[in-house]
Amino acid sequence: MSFDFNEFVERVREANKASDPNLAIRDLLKQIVSKPDQIAAATPVDGEDEVMLFEDESLSIWRCRFQPHIFMPPHEHKIPVHIAGYAGKERSLLFKRERSGLSYRGEKIAREGDVITLGPEAIHAVVAEGDQCSQALHVYMGPLMKLKRGLFDWETGTQIDFTLENFDRLKRSEEEMPEFS
């Protein structure tokens, strides 16, 4: 049986109607990524790295591919997100907002078959761990693209508006990354 992204979206939308939507969606994602090869086979090899599959007032569903050695800047979502890895390893560097900027707090890795959740207060930067791209399904518990949210400067931790231009400007190669401890 092959994986179908449209069917996946419908199943997530149905799970979102449960009495505990976060639990229902996490359970569904765990079931789906238990067969990661089927999802990977259905994912285009070329094209955009981040593709919105669906968004309404209660959900945003994305297919995300991150490149190795290229770090996406620290950013917030302001809503919970469930990340279900199906190829490679998606590494989230976690930060906490402090008076002096951001402080590094650790990391979470979504490996093939893993589902991780970041809460609404989470601030993270993302990179593919190792030498292969990471691929994951991201389910945000709200309208991600309609929210006013922040990006954070790597060195100063200063918050700026989340725009695609700012996001692209703050991407860093591995060689440009500051040290975290």
Sequence-ordered alpha helix ranges (H) in the chain: 5-15, 21-32, 36-42, 164-169
State the average pLDDT over residues 82-104: 94
Q: What percent of the chain has pLDDT over 90?
A: 87
**Answer CATH for 5-175 from 3.10.450.40, 2.60.120.10, 2.40.50.70, 2.40.110.10:** 2.60.120.10
Is the pLDDT confidence value at 159 over 50?
yes
**Structure confidence by residue, pLDDT tens digits, 101-115:** 899 999 999 999 999
The burial class, CB within 10 Å (0-12 / 13-18 / 19+), for 30 is middle
Looking at every residue in the chain, the average pLDDT score rounds to 94
In which band, very low, low, confident or very high, does the pLDDT at 181 lie, cut at 50, 70 and 90? Answer: very low
- The pTM assigned to this predicted structure is 0.94
